[in-house]
Structure 1
Amino acid sequence: MTQNPPNPKQHLAFILIAASTVIAIAGTDLVLPAVPSLPQALGGSIERSQIVLAAYVFGTSVGLVSFGELGARYDRRLLLTVSLGLFAAASLVAAFAPDIESLIAIRFAQGAFGSAPAVFAPGLIRSLYGDAKAVGALGRLGSIESLTPALAPIAGAYLLAVGGWQVSFLLLAALSVAIATALQMSGALLLPRESQIETGTGNGGYGKLLKNPVFLRYALSQAFSLGSLLIFVFGAPAVMTGPLGLDLSAFIVLQVSGISMFILGATLSGRLSTAFGAERLISGGTLLLLTGFIALLLYAVLGGRSLPVIVACSLIVNLGFGLRGPPGFHQAVVASRGDDARGAALVVLGILGTAGIGTAAAAPFISIGLVPITAVATAVALAGCLSLAVLPARFDETIMPLDR
């Protein structure tokens, strides 16, 4: 497939898509520093305030399925604009919540409304750039998204200090309105309405996708790979500040170094996919991720506690996912055979479900140390490798144009 060089419209469209996904991610990370202060401001316990975070995740899960279905029937550009407008409204209402129970309910709605960018972004990028360049574009998008969990909590802490817990919600509302306005004014000119790559009818709903072994190969391996990384990241702060006797700065070092390595891998993924083929890159990156977790698990079992060693293993894990993440997601979207919205929704839902179940499984043993979260993460990463080994990869070349 011959691709035209990028033009200013493509760059502007990419910025709008990236901004939409970032604002949804910031719905958790920007608010995170304010959570401990919520009981004092709105009543309830610190345990109850944690439900404010969980409600957003549950709402996102519902929104993913809903927007995946809507995206197969209606204009994705309109749905994206409407979702951001509703997300802005929910964020504004959240800033004036009278009590913790009301905030929890509003956060559920906020998460549901904010899930549309995750559903539509992969398909829009594929339509915008074509298959030959979509992996590189998804790598750039992933790099931008990965900065949000690192930078948003810092901004949230500053906003909490200068204006209280409500300011983060007000900022989310303002930014969402700005992005929605930009989409309303120029989205029809910049963003493709439907997929410009005819790969199938897109009919049959979620059931058809769940019966497609090729789609399941890429969807499950993506969900297990990223899910394993998130399980480790979610449990690392408690382990490092608890059993390992380190302070929070150790987790910051772990997170910043890991994100940097992920960005490196994601940046290289487009070129390496073109040079070696998407299949080789997905398989190699998945094995590299699993290798990093196995090394960390062995070190933990032997009683290791050194931060440099933990960071070194984390670098291997993050590089592995950085290399396999963009082509893996792209192949899942391609394998959906024209049903991009539902396909992307199922992949993201799988990631959230894997991370949530794995985190819950490790939580009762978190006080033991590094072994439980690393063991669960390793098992999940192994499941990602097994998905690639068991499920089929080959199908019509018109469906999979990358590996030529």
Structure 2
Amino acid sequence: MTMLRAALILGLLSAVGPFAIDMYLPAMPAIAASLGAEVSAVQLTLTAYFVAFGLAQLFYGPWADQVGRKLPLFVGLAIFAAATVACALAGSIEQLIAARALQGLGGAVLMVVPRAVIRDMHTGPAATKLMAMVMLVISVSPMLAPLAGAGLIAFGDWRLIFWVLGAVALLSLMLTATALPETLPSESRVAVNLANLWRGTKVLLRDPVFMGLTFIGGFGFASFMVFISSASFVYTGEFGLTPTGFSLAFAINAIGFFGASQAAGPLADKIGIMTVIRWAVVGFAGCSAVLFAVALSGYGTLPVVMAGLFLGNACLGLVIPTTMVMALDPHGAIAGLASSLGGTFQMVTGGLMVVVTGLFFDGTAVPMIGAIMLCAFCALVLALRTLAVMHRVSTNAVQG
């Protein structure tokens, strides 16, 4: 299989999960009206998805190492497809929340296994190149998925979005069956050893640098989750945008994130990865604080909010990938476990922040921006402490 074909297949599979998040964002106000639900309850459909998505990653990684890559993909996609049908048929907000949690349990396989396939196929620069190509495919989803969802709403109600997602899941099953080879040979498979998993977990939990970097990225990711859970209500309610208008505004913010993320590597080479993290977190906190002050004073117009969020998300595009790289760097022997554990912590952190935001959210921009600012300052405090520890360790190593 050529690298381009592999990137397209793995990218399309990996994009199913983000589409399940972003495609129904324009429909969230319609879901609230249709099911007679509070805004905070509709936001819980995102929280349920993210928490289940994060926790399930801990299961799929070891299982894929034991039985190969394709069986977990089949099972996860089947769960995702069934849950998507349940979402389309949900008669109450409670049923929709439960179905979204089940959808997250299935969709998590599409985060874990494609990365493992890349490691099976390539190492070193070739693996980096393939991962970059896959990420390029995935990065299109935050821009296209809301627009696709808005387009579907024009032809039907919000349930049509989930019927289309179900069809996409079935197509992904066919793609996995016919176009994706098994990349982990039998002789390379390893049995799940709970003792080794617990030993590695204890190493990670006791590492202040790993935990610090993980939660710096986690609070950064949480701010983005707060944004996606609230933005459709703010943009359509307070600012009067149509679902299509919201989708375009959302795409602009996504461009800020993914555009800046492409500069993270070159900047790290030029000025050092620790410097990138430090100034990106400071920029994120500064942009969030200024935007909150402006919104609180009554000048938070749509262009001002969009510009402030664009700048903040651009800083996030430098924070999240660099902290992920640095967190895994000292733990090469247990990189898979570290990746799964870190992903779980970040997803759960984001889900909890959405719940906290829901307690104060009133459909306007101020509480949304305030929650984003809270995430930013949590990340800033952690960054100052963690980078100080990293500097001290580095200095001791040089002196030693």
TM-score w.r.t. the length of structure 2 is 0.77
Counterpart AA for 1:286: V
Which one has a larger percent helix, Structure 1 or Structure 2?
2
Counterpart AA for 2:36: S
Distance 1:329 1:153 in 2: 27
Determine if contact 2:76/2:107 at 8 Å carries over to the other structure: yes
Equivalent residue, structure 2, for 1:385: 380
Distance 1:338 1:315 in 2: 37
Distance 1:378 1:157 in 2: 29
In structure 2, do the counterparts of structure 1 residues 77 and 214 end up closer, same or farther at CA, with 3 Å as the change threshold?
farther
In structure 2, do the counterparts of structure 1 residues 77 and 135 end up closer, same or farther at CA, with 3 Å as the change threshold?
same
Determine if contact 2:25/2:146 at 8 Å carries over to the other structure: yes
Equivalent residue, structure 2, for 1:215: 210
**2:216 alignment partner, SS class:** helix
Determine if contact 1:284/1:324 at 8 Å carries over to the other structure: no
Shift of 1:336: 4.2
1:288 is aligned to 2:283: yes
Equivalent residue, structure 1, for 2:36: 45
**1:293 alignment partner, SS class:** helix
Equivalent residue, structure 1, for 2:112: 119
Shift of 1:136: 6.8
**1:4-403 to 2 correspondences below 5 Å:** 9-32=2-25, 45-47=36-38, 52-71=45-64, 73-92=66-85, 94-95=87-88, 104-122=97-115, 124-125=117-118, 130=123, 141-142=134-135, 144-162=137-155, 165-188=158-181, 204-240=199-235, 245-248=238-241, 251-252=246-247, 254-367=249-362, 370-391=365-386, 392-393=389-390
In structure 2, do the counterparts of structure 1 residues 121 and 218 end up closer, same or farther at CA, with 3 Å as the change threshold?
farther
Distance 1:12 1:368 in 2: 44
Determine if contact 1:281/1:323 at 8 Å carries over to the other structure: yes
Distance 1:313 1:332 in 2: 28
Shift of 1:151: 2.5
Q: Deviations over 1:323-367 (max 9, x none)?
A: 233232233344443334433333333333333333333334334
Equivalent residue, structure 1, for 2:192: none
Distance 2:301 2:33 in 1: 37
Equivalent residue, structure 2, for 1:401: none
Determine if contact 2:56/2:105 at 8 Å carries over to the other structure: yes
**1:204 alignment partner, SS class:** helix
**1:339 alignment partner, SS class:** helix
Q: Deviations over 1:237-257 (max 9, x none)?
A: 444555xx4222575554232
Shift of 1:36: 5.9
Equivalent residue, structure 1, for 2:398: none
In structure 2, do the counterparts of structure 1 residues 139 and 265 end up closer, same or farther at CA, with 3 Å as the change threshold?
farther
Shift of 1:115: 0.9
Determine if contact 1:59/1:108 at 8 Å carries over to the other structure: yes
Count residues in correspondence: 381
**1:188 alignment partner, SS class:** coil
Counterpart AA for 1:45: G
Shift of 1:18: 2.0
Counterpart AA for 2:83: A
In structure 2, do the counterparts of structure 1 residues 313 and 12 end up closer, same or farther at CA, with 3 Å as the change threshold?
same
**2:181 alignment partner, SS class:** helix
Q: Deviations over 1:262-303 (max 9, x none)?
A: 222122223333444433333332222222112212323433
Distance 1:185 1:396 in 2: 49
Determine if contact 2:51/2:348 at 8 Å carries over to the other structure: no
Distance 1:39 1:240 in 2: 15
Shift of 1:117: 1.9
TM-score w.r.t. the length of structure 1 is 0.76
Q: Percent of pairs identical after alignment?
A: 24
Distance 1:137 1:283 in 2: 28
Distance 2:230 2:28 in 1: 18
Determine if contact 2:278/2:384 at 8 Å carries over to the other structure: no
In structure 2, do the counterparts of structure 1 residues 135 and 361 end up closer, same or farther at CA, with 3 Å as the change threshold?
farther
Distance 1:333 1:128 in 2: 20
Shift of 1:114: 0.9
Distance 2:322 2:164 in 1: 33
**2:7 alignment partner, SS class:** helix
Distance 1:139 1:281 in 2: 20
Shift of 1:23: 0.7
Equivalent residue, structure 1, for 2:193: none
Q: Which runs of 5+ in 1 are unaligned?
A: 1-7, 196-200, 398-404
In structure 2, do the counterparts of structure 1 residues 153 and 309 end up closer, same or farther at CA, with 3 Å as the change threshold?
closer
Determine if contact 2:227/2:372 at 8 Å carries over to the other structure: yes
Provide the aligned C-alpha RMSD in A: 3.9
Q: Deviations over 1:95-130 (max 9, x none)?
A: 556776655544332221111122344555566564
Range 209-218 or range 100-109, more displaced: 100-109
Range 382-391 or range 177-186, more displaced: 177-186
Counterpart AA for 2:326: Q
Counterpart AA for 2:369: T
Shift of 1:170: 3.5
**2:239 alignment partner, SS class:** coil
